[in-house]
Structure 1
């Protein structure tokens, strides 16, 4: 555990998030340059494919090949057609507390999107929130309840799994035929839930704060720890069964399985997550390592 070789694929980002493997390339959002980029898995060569002034985050694809991109600050989903035309797919402001964040798109083209629930960068008091389901026609509806900073999402058959960064674990839902989320339950509790309070009171006691995450073929989850701990492989129920340590000057905030054989784990790393430190710095990196179990 923790002894894998880490390779640097890209340097000089502001804050990488939302990594995806799609059509033989990595896609990644870079918060403070306002760009969505592709990355060649062999050379690290980058291409800007979309500019998002409102700060890009989660990425996903609809059945027609359109890319959906979260615009965090204005709470919108942008849709980039295969020809490159960009339109507003949905404005979900009425359902957001704080920044819009990560998303996942299912095989029907329905997007499930999380939001912070509160203004993290201004250190407002944390508050629970919901997911937002955006149907292919752009109609938005809230789903779930009492989620503490819903973050990365994964779909495993008819189950949607969501990381709760301020909840210390993962919740799960059953996806109904119409796309609604039912049977909200605990998928895995990694650290005990802490009592609600201020950010200063909650953060030091979280124990583990699951951030960006990815599902493997054995139904386990690789998850970044938003408070700087190792990236961990987590079994259903919440047991940590493997972990990857990073150098002391870096923390991982998102990860994704991909590569041609699915065995490459891409890690989005930076010294910290604070906007005041990251906006003008170019210290974020993309790292890769090889894992035994491939992507789901």
Structure 2
């Protein structure tokens, strides 16, 4: 087992880690903010307050930060002068809170959502993946997904989407106007009938230079390196829950993990038990984010 180090603690529930400009960026749900820090966890800085709970984040081609504001179901944009405004209102397109997001080099964002009221106990339901153009125009890019969550864009222009309650990772060819048909990239079990039927609950993820995905398993406290087809090549268990991961660092071989005991909202609000941990891996980062 490689050595696992803690980069930052005293957090509530971290998500959507990104490496940009020599710094790690991430959302912390219940401090309601997006932060950045150096590769070693030093110089922690609050980048922007997100009162309605931050999640996915990325950057437009001109360098402006866009990010998900979950509970008001919007994607926001931070201008170069620091002012924040609405980039896209997705409330008419989602049946649950929007969550993770990947932004392409062309500024097009692909946004998932829960599909139902997870915290309110609503029945499990499939949902849409949204496409948000650089001008904020929203369209439905794909339908019938099981909790679309962490996503990456490969160097050859393929969108990979983790379906947290679907026992699978789906792939889509990116076209100038949208997405091609869904196909299986990795399948871990049968299609679920309830939200408790998962064999592997793929959450946040990051792509490496050999085309494998590091995927956080939201149910089982592990990150797994998975090849196309679903074979698990490596597994790392940080000793607690882990809900997102990403490759970055100065040589792209730092695997950061968003760790917390669980994802239960009232528990995460009550105690700052979340940590960002890092482990060195062999194959460096590739693709977006």
Query: Which interval holds the TM-score relative to the shorter structure?
Result: over 0.9
Matched residues, number: 285
How do 1:13-28 and structure 2 match up within 5 A?
13-28=11-26
Contact in 1 for aligned 2:216/2:244 (Cα 8 Å): yes
Q: Which of the numbers 131, 134, 149 marks the counterpart of 2:132?
A: 134
Report the TM-score when normalising by structure 1.
0.94
Displacement after TM superposition at 1:24 (Å): 0.3
Matched, 1:206 2:205: no
1:1-296 to structure 2, matched below 5 A, reads: 3-156=1-154, 157-178=156-177, 180-194=178-192, 196-197=193-194, 202-203=195-196, 205-247=197-239, 250-296=240-286
Structure 2 segments unaligned to the other structure (5+ residues): none
Q: Distance in 2 between matches of 1:58 and 1:228?
A: 22
1:144-188 Cα shifts (integer Å, max 9, x gaps): 11100000110012210100000011001111122x011211111
- 8 Å CA contact retained: 1:208, 1:229: no
- Aligned-partner Cα distance in 2 for 1:272–1:185: 31
Deviation at 1:72, TM superposition (A): 0.5
CA shift digits 1:6-36 (9 cap, x unpaired): 0000010000001000000000000001000
Q: Alpha-carbon deviations, 1:67-120, whole Å to 9, x = none?
A: 011001111000012221211001001111111100011111111100000111
Q: 1:216 to 1:98 in 2, by over 3 A?
A: same
Deviation, structure 1 residue 43:
4.0
Structure 1 residue 41 displacement after superposition: 1.4
Normalised TM-score (structure 2): 0.96
Query: Residue by residue, what CA displacement relative to the aligned partner does 1:185-215 show, whole Å, maximum 9, x if unpaired?
Result: 1111123322x23xxxx32x31110001011
